[in-house]
């Protein structure tokens, strides 16, 4: 029987986004504050996922040995380092979150049975690399506050309460929603990016956060005038809203997760669902104006 185990590590490091072939103005336009010299730092969190057959002792492998390998090959080199000058890979390609994750995979793959490298740059930004050439995943987390009522308009209040309980209250109730948007794409061999982070954050802010934040979803978002705004329906609608904007900035929308509360969340693999046509998207945009 195969099983996946995960090992968590941490390191602190700094980096800078700067391409010498670009002018200072071009670097600033492309990378913003990340061009600041001598750089900026993060407390990185690294999760290494390992897969293997269970041995007679009930283990995939000796976790103490895995810990020692990760420390020797990765943590000792990167902790308290300036990434741009630490490894040759980061002189050719900028040390973005996704490229650092890819490089860690390459340096561990001959030592450990890796199936995923997950690297958190901040609690709101992380990358996953699974060994697929130059393909990587980047996740951005954002939030909005909104109220909703769970009720079908064709049913009575008593009938809705039988289905949705207290959530059917006519006055609604609210949540501080957390939304995690994962995109995938090819790592650029020079910039180390699969997508411009600023463009991705702007797309999420414009198409989701600004549209949903401080609203009563049933009344203020036209889509939910006829669709019950459950966490499941909200996350599907977010997928629809972001599908084309993410494609427009050169990536593929892979997954969206909506955390309604610490006890309740919903997620959808965006590539597995049908998205509205261009005409349907235009109609929804007009309705939202």
- Active-site option among 51, 167, 232, 267: 167
CA distance 48 to 29: 34
- Active-site option among 260, 271, 275, 280: 260
CA distance 32 to 39: 12
Catalytic annotation on 260? yes
CA distance 3 to 7: 13
Long-range contacts (CB closer than 8 Å, 24 or more residues apart) made by 234-238: 234/177, 234/258, 234/266, 235/179, 235/266, 235/267, 235/268, 236/268, 236/273, 238/179, 238/181, 238/208
* Cβ count near 128 (within 10 Å): 20
Catalytic annotation on 280? no
Q: How much is the CA Rg of the chain, to the nearest whole Å?
A: 22
- Active-site option among 214, 240, 243, 267: 214
- Please report how the helices 197-204 and 231-248 are oriented relative to each other, as an axis angle in degrees rounded to 10: 140
CA distance 194 to 99: 9
Catalytic annotation on 3? no
The secondary structure element, H or E, covering residue 114 is: strand 114-122
CB 55 within 8 A of CB 62: no
- Nearest-CA neighbor of 260 among 155, 120, 145, 171? 145
DSSP-derived secondary structure for 121-172: EETTEEEEE-S-TTEEEEEEEEEEEEEE----TTS-HHHHHHHHGGGG-TT-
CA distance 180 to 7: 22
**Active site amino acids:** 167, 214, 260
């Amino acid at each position: 029987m195969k099983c996946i185990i995960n090992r968590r590590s941490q390191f602190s490091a700094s980096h800078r986004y700067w391409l010498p072939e670009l002018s200072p103005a071009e670097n600033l336009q492309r990378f913003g504050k990340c061009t600041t010299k001598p750089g900026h730092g993060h407390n990185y969190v690294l999760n290494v996922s390992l897969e293997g057959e269970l041995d007679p002792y009930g283990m995939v492998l000796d976790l103490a040995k895995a810990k020692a390998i990760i420390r020797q090959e990765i943590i000792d080199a990167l902790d308290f380092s300036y990434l741009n000058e630490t490894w040759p890979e980061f002189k050719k390609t900028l040390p973005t979150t996704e490229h650092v994750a890819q490089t860690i995979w390459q340096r561990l793959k001959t030592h450990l049975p890796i199936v995923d490298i997950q690297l958190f740059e901040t609690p709101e930004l992380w990358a996953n690399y699974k060994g697929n050439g130059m393909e990587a995943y980047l996740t951005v987390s954002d939030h909005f506050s909104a109220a909703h009522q769970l009720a079908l308009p064709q049913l009575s209040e008593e009938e809705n309460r039988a289905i949705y309980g207290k959530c059917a209250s006519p006055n609604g109730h609210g949540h501080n929603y957390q939304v995690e948007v994962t995109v995938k794409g090819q790592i650029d061999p020079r910039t180390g990016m699969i997508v411009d982070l600023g463009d991705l954050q702007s797309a999420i802010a414009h198409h989701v956060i600004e549209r949903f934040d401080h609203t009563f979803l049933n009344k203020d978002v036209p889509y939910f005038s006829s669709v019950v705004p459950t966490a499941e329906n909200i996350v599907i609608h977010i997928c629809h809203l972001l599908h084309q904007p993410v494609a427009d900035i050169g990536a593929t929308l892979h997954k969206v997760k909506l955390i309604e509360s610490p006890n309740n969340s919903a997620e959808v693999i965006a590539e597995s669902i049908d998205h509205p046509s261009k005409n349907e998207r235009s109609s929804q945009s007009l309705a939202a104006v």
